[in-house]
Amino acid sequence: MQQAPFLPAELYGVIGWPLGQSLSPLIHNTAFQTLGRDAVYLRWEIAPERLAAFVDSFRLLRMRGCSVTIPHKVAIMPHLDDVSAPAQAAGAVNTLYWRDDLLCGENTDVTGFMTPLLACALPEDTPVLLLGAGGAARAAAAGLRAHGFSDCAVCTPSDRTHVPLAEAFGMRAVAWRDRHEVPARLIINATPLGMYGKAERETPYDFAQARTDGRTGLAYDIVYNPLRTRFLTEAETAGWRTLGGLEMFYAQADAQFFLWTGQHLPATARQALEAALLGDGKRR
């Protein structure tokens, strides 16, 4: 039976509630166009009570792949046929894909977080301070543990949510007020502080108070919008190397695209992302 001309051969998308102005469609649709694939990547706002129905529709229509964001990353796991070891370790799924006839879940946030960090070639005994305990922080914790970083402390402004994460990943739970006393050489911001539209003028860490003993390290902010957060700017002023969230965001998208298509994102996808963030103002 000939396919209707208005339907793409490959259907992809992202689900969340609320979804906001995601940049994922820009990245993936630019890649599809560049590579000449008959595919489209759409946005689907799916309320939590409709998640099971969405998965049924995904199976029925044989959609090719899907990105998963808040609040569905954990709730979607029981609806899948298989969940990868990295996703199980992180306790969350951010990508749906097919393996033969099995609908599977993966967490490319782990790969996305670690890919730029490993390029910095830090020793495994580098002392780490992780700020935050949400989904991105769990992906960071899973990646750090998988790659042998064992000297890790974690804290959150709430002084509560970091305790289960610390127990799950063998980290030290630190009180928020004591975070500057941790002699870390890798400090990771996995909180929303500094994010456009939420707390852009804030930072979770004061590098002037850091217990450095005259040494500096690497400051890694997973926030990518704006590209230069207050956290990164102040770290750079204090002499620290910096790593921005754009690298993680793009790396996790590239891992998704490769999982779905067997190809890496073309350079045009990166160019479109940077133009969106630098050109017509900050976007989410």
- Any idea where the domains of the chain sit in the sequence? 10-106+247-278, 111-243
Place domain 10-106+247-278 in its CATH homologous superfamily: Leucine Dehydrogenase, chain A, domain 1 (3.40.50.10860)
pLDDT at 284: 39
Report in angstroms the alpha-carbon separations of 134 from 10, 130, 174, 225. 32, 11, 16, 18
Across 125-131, average pLDDT: 97
Distance CA 169, CA 264 (A): 31
| pTM higher than the cut 0.85 | yes
Across 149-153, average pLDDT: 97
Distance CA 232, CA 214 (A): 19
* Percent of the chain predicted with pLDDT > 70: 96
Q: Please write the tens of the pLDDT for every residue from 206-248.
A: 999 988 777 899 999 999 989 999 999 999 999 999 999 999 9
Q: How far is CA 74 from the centre of its chain?
A: 14
Q: Please write the tens of the pLDDT for every residue from 10-26.
A: 999 999 998 877 899 99
Q: At what angle do helices 245-261 and 108-118 cross, to 10 degrees?
A: 130
pLDDT at 20: 75
Bridging pattern class, strands 218-221 and 241-243:
parallel
Across 255-262, average pLDDT: 98
Q: What is the per-residue burial (b if ≥16 Cβ within 10 Å, else e) of 147-159? A: eebebbbbbbeee
Does 7 score more than 70 pLDDT?
A: no
Does 178 score more than 70 pLDDT?
A: yes
Q: Tell me how crowded residue 7 is: count the other CB atoms within 10 A of its CB.
A: 10
Distance CA 56, CA 76 (A): 12
Q: Please write the tens of the pLDDT for every residue from 67-85.
A: 999 899 999 999 999 999 9
Does 176 score more than 70 pLDDT?
A: yes
Q: SS3 for 43? A: strand
pLDDT at 222: 95
Return the H-helix or E-strand segment holding 60: helix 51-61
Across 184-195, average pLDDT: 95
**Residue 153 · residue 129 · CB < 8 Å:** yes
Place domain 111-243 in its CATH homologous superfamily: NAD(P)-binding Rossmann-like Domain (3.40.50.720)
Bridge partners (DSSP) listed for residue 10: 39
Does 195 score more than 70 pLDDT?
A: yes
pLDDT confidence bin for 8, thresholds 50/70/90? confident
Catalytic residue annotation: 73
Least Cα distance to 147 among 122, 182, 184 occurs for 122
Task: Please work out, in degrees rounded to the nearest 5, the angle formed at the alpha carbon of residue 86 by the alpha carbons of 81 and 88.
Answer: 55
Side-chain-side CA neighbours of 248 within 13 Å: the count stands at: 25
Across 129-153, average pLDDT: 95
pLDDT at 21: 72
User: Edge to edge, what strands does the sheet with 95-99 contain?
Assistant: 39-45, 10-16, 65-68, 95-99, 102-106, 82-83
Does 191 score more than 80 pLDDT?
A: yes
Task: Calculate the average pLDDT of the chain.
Answer: 93
pLDDT at 211: 80
Bridge partners (DSSP) listed for residue 195: none
Least Cα distance to 44 among 9, 80, 79, 19 occurs for 19
Two domains, one topology: 10-106+247-278 and 111-243 = yes
- Quickly tell me which residue has 């049924």 as its tokens: 56
Give the pair of three-digit tokens for residue 23. 């940049």
**CB proximity list for 52: less than 8 A, separation 6 or greater:** 79
pLDDT confidence bin for 135, thresholds 50/70/90? confident
Does 281 score more than 50 pLDDT?
A: no
Does 107 score more than 70 pLDDT?
A: yes
Rg of the chain taking only CA atoms, in angstroms:
19
pLDDT confidence bin for 45, thresholds 50/70/90? very high
pLDDT confidence bin for 282, thresholds 50/70/90? very low
